[in-house]
């Protein structure tokens, strides 16, 4: 569930969307620039009415087609062809409106607005489309000049190289976005698989291990049953450790859900705006059932309020730690649970007076498919943004410290 929630909260924004916004602004500004350039030099035009007519069409076209350059879906091939046609028409009409433009190597009627048309090709289709469009623009500029100068070739080459470079960058960005999306899907599937493995470890594997031990102690037919249970435990642990368990959603732990006492809390206003409360539960109500003759439970006097999902994962990690105490520290081992409610984080410490864990034993257990600490404890805390630290000294017991930061635990205060 935690993996799915994280995946749903990931907001994927196309990496090319900022480029479309920049292109929209570029087209508007270059259209205004083309109009102002004509206004301040209109006395030089031999046929100013040609320039006025074209610039009017250019202005209307630019403003009317703003939605077309809002994103890749709106920017169709038909629009791109029409847009490029207007740019080429403006270039070819320049000598008709201003015959001196050829002699003095002056700007064309659309001026740098033409580059926006080429950039639209680059963002939409990549470097190949950019090369196609810029080639038409290059030919139109050379024909318009009649006898092109070095500056003409320089400008043509600049537009050609720049548009192809931008198109290539867009293609790389798209490939990176696809890779990121795939990585997020794999991460979500891996976390769901780990969550399911924890559920199996906390229920099925423990039952099989118990049947194996009891069967061996009873003997007779029970011993054979225990042997079969042991074989199934080994097979299931192999599936869990090798990742062959299907990543399907398991049902929520009913035993934990039955203990949760969810309350509606109206958080006090921290500032002038204030914030509303949310569904939270008291962590103490989840941990209190563990208290007994061999488990001492120390808690704050006030409720320890956490988001239900975070509280249930934290309580399940505590349950896994206590199960390890019962299995590895002996029947007579004493355990302590300490809950600390700090403003920045919630800390739960589970300590025992058992023989401790030998060096290298945890790594060996993971290699054997025994993932109690790796999944049921550290995996649960990692999924809710917390940490789990295990300290063990041979002969002096084991201490497991579980920390959940307030912001990542969904605390409503």
pLDDT in tens, 181-215: 778 777 776 676 666 655 555 556 566 666 667 77
pLDDT value for 28: 95
β-pairing, 295-298 with 335-341?
parallel
Buried b (16+ CB within 10 A) or exposed e, 170-197: bbeeeeeeeeeeeeeeeebeebbbbbbb
> Tokens 């950019």 label which residue?
130
Residue pair 296/317 in contact (Cβ under 8 Å)? The answer is no
Could you give the percent of the chain with pLDDT greater than 70?
A: 68
Q: Has residue 367 got a pLDDT over 70? A: no
pLDDT value for 120: 92
pLDDT in tens, 128-149: 998 999 899 888 888 887 776 6
Dihedral sign for Cα atoms in the order 185, 186, 189, 194: negative
Residue pair 339/346 in contact (Cβ under 8 Å)? The answer is yes
CA distance 352 to 336: 6
CA distance 352 to 337: 9
325: exposed, middle or buried (Cβ count in 10 Å: 0-12, 13-18, 19+)? buried
**Would you state the structure tokens that stand for residue 395, as one six-digit string?**
């002969």
Mean pLDDT of all residues in 358-387: 66
The secondary element (H helix, E strand) that includes residue 32 is helix 17-40
Q: Has residue 244 got a pLDDT over 50? A: no
pLDDT in tens, 145-170: 777 667 677 777 888 888 888 888 88
Residue 261 has phi, psi (to 5 degrees) of -110, 95
* Helix orientation angle between 113-125 and 17-40, rounded to the nearest 10 degrees: 170
Choice among 8-17, 73-82, 392-401 with the minimum mean pLDDT = 8-17
Q: Rounded mean pLDDT of the chain?
A: 76
Residue pair 83/57 in contact (Cβ under 8 Å)? The answer is no
Task: Quickly state the pLDDT bin for 239 (edges 50, 70, 90).
Answer: low
pLDDT in tens, 259-306: 444 444 433 434 444 444 457 888 988 898 888 888 899 988 888 888
pLDDT value for 121: 93
Residue of 405 and 332 predicted with greater confidence: 405
pLDDT value for 261: 41
Task: Quickly state the pLDDT bin for 336 (edges 50, 70, 90).
Answer: very high
> Tokens 């043509």 label which residue?
156
First-to-last C-alpha distance (Å) of the chain: 24
The beta strand positions in 108-182, using DSSP E, are none
Mean pLDDT of all residues in 360-371: 53
Q: Has residue 29 got a pLDDT over 90? A: yes
């Amino acid at each position: 569930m935690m993996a799915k929630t994280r995946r749903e909260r990931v907001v994927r924004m196309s990496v090319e969307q900022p480029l479309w916004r920049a292109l929209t602004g570029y087209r508007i500004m270059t259209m205004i620039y083309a109009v102002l350039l004509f206004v301040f030099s209109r006395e030089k035009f031999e046929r100013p009415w040609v320039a006025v007519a074209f610039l009017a069409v250019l202005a209307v076209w630019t403003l009317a087609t703003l939605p077309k350059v809002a994103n890749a879906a709106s920017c169709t091939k038909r629009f791109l062809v029409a847009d490029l046609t207007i740019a080429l028409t403006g270039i070819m009409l320049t000598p008709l409106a201003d015959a001196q433009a050829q002699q003095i190597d002056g700007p064309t009627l659309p001026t740098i607005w033409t580059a926006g048309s080429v950039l639209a090709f680059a963002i939409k289709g990549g470097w190949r489309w950019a090369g196609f469009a810029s080639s038409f623009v290059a030919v139109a500029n050379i024909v318009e000049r009649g006898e092109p100068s070095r500056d003409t070739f320089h400008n043509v080459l600049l537009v050609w190289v720049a548009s192809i470079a931008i198109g290539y960058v867009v293609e790389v960005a798209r490939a990176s976005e696809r890779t990121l999306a795939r990585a997020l899907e794999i991460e979500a599937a891996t976390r769901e698989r780990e969550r399911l493995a924890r559920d199996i470890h906390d229920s099925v594997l423990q039952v099989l291990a118990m049947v194996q031990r009891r069967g061996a102690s009873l003997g007779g037919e029970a011993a054979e049953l225990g042997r079969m249970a042991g074989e199934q435990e080994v097979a299931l642990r192999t599936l869990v450790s090798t990742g062959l368990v299907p990543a399907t959603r398991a049902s929520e732990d009913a035993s934990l859900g039955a203990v949760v006492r969810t309350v509606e809390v109206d958080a006090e206003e921290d500032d002038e705006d204030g914030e509303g409360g949310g569904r939270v539960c008291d962590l103490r109500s989840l941990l209190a059932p563990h208290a007994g003759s061999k488990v001492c439970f120390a808690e704050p006097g006030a409720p320890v309020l956490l988001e239900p999902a975070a509280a249930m994962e934290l309580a399940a990690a505590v349950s896994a730690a206590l199960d390890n105490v019962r299995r590895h520290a002996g029947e007579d081992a004493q355990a302590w649970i300490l809950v600390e409610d700090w403003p920045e984080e919630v800390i739960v410490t589970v300590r025992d007076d058992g023989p401790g864990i030998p060096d290298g034993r945890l790594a060996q257990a993971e290699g054997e498919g025994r993932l109690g600490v790796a999944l049921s404890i550290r995996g649960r805390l990692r999924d809710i943004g917390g940490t789990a630290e295990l300290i063990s000294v041979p002969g002096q017991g084991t201490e497991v410290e579980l920390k959940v930061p307030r912001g990542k635990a969904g605390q409503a205060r």
